[in-house]
Amino acid sequence: MRVYLDNAATTALDKEVVEAMLPYMTEKFGNPSSTHQFGSEVRVAIEQSRKTIAKLLNVSPSEIIFTSGGTEANNMALRCSTEFMGIKHAITSPLEHHAVLHTLEDLAKLGKIKLSLVNVDAKGNVDLAHLEELLAGYDGQTLVSLMQANNEIGNLLPIERVSALCEQYKAVFHTDTVQTMCHYPLDFQAVKVHFASCAAHKFHGPKGVGFLYMSADVKIPPFITGGAQERNMRGGTENVYGIVGLGKAFEIAHRDMEKEAAHIRELKGYMIGRLQNEFPGVEFNGESGDMDKSLYTVLNVSLPKTDIGEMLLFNLDINGVAASGGSACSSGSDIGSHVLRALGTDMERPAVRFSFCKSTQLQDIDYAVDVLKDILKPVVA
């Protein structure tokens, strides 16, 4: 049996998405910048995807810029805003995805910005009083970059309150919405943000495509030059079938959001209960064990200490269970999760991130917990 519980890393392509993409891999192969019929029919498909996404986010199509994914979208927002909007101060948290944290650290090392890290509590929640203190203590314009939901521990940012603080202090607000986009309804007219990032493969779309939402209130030059694509904001021939797949996945996710969220919430609650019953002293990192304060798709677990701690994920894998120790983007690193380290988590205890999707079933949870019991039998006996 094989069980996939690493959906925060990537999800399987939805069959409806594949069907939508296939014609643009075969007969509809024109370059969207070409003026003949082969090009124009492809251009129409790109713009239809843009309109679909914009409508569901309650924004203008001109505010959606297609990218290669969340990392490029984050880099575009952070590098271009600090370079061309006169921003010399940025605020983020120590728990951000490396696409944000490393980018801002790089800009600080280059002397382009002063970087401030907002405090987080023992559970990983942003200290809003400290955020306001940092905003009030700087005279010039500040960039605030805080993810709406943490990809490792699932904590949800009170985005409305952060948005209000940014508006009060005239700060530019960027939020990485890679884990929340298409899992929660987002309305960027109701909650003001200047930049938001998206990656299609987090909600059953294709890999290698995403977008940056950029409010019409801000103006930056292109991140990639060399062509007039994306309204002169990103040079290079568009990933046509990727964009078509992104648009279709976006549509499906919003169509089925309420039903799928209820299903996944049930699975997460069930797994929390089983783990508590089988492993006395189990801990849920961050707010991931609280259904109201965390992503319903993510559960981050610290298990009892064991001699095979470093090999736990390997043992799960050879028994057919796919899970993660943290961000998949950091695989290959032997230093462990920077998020858990920042929270002071006992790194001697093996930590596993389980993440769920609409195709996950109760029997998948049972199998994964039973495998864990067998692996950790000497510890829990």
Is 329 known to be catalytic? Answer: yes
Angle (CA) 291-155-287 rounded to 5° is: 55
| Spatial CB neighbours of 7, under 8 Å, sequence gap ≥ 6 | 297, 355, 356, 357, 360
Backbone angles phi, psi at 53, to 5 degrees: -65, -45
Q: Smallest Cα–Cα separation from 67: which of 223, 226, 250, 179?
A: 223
Question: Which residue among 80, 198, 329, 357 is the active-site one?
Answer: 329
Q: Which residues contact 250 (CB under 8 A, 6 or more apart)?
A: 49, 52, 53, 56, 182, 200, 203, 205
The CA dihedral of 337, 340, 342, 344, to the nearest 10 degrees, is -130
131, 277 contact by CB (below 8 A): no
CB atoms within 10 A of CB 80: 20
Q: What gap in Å lies between CA 64 and CA 210, rounded to an integer?
A: 10
User: Which residues are designated catalytic?
Assistant: 329
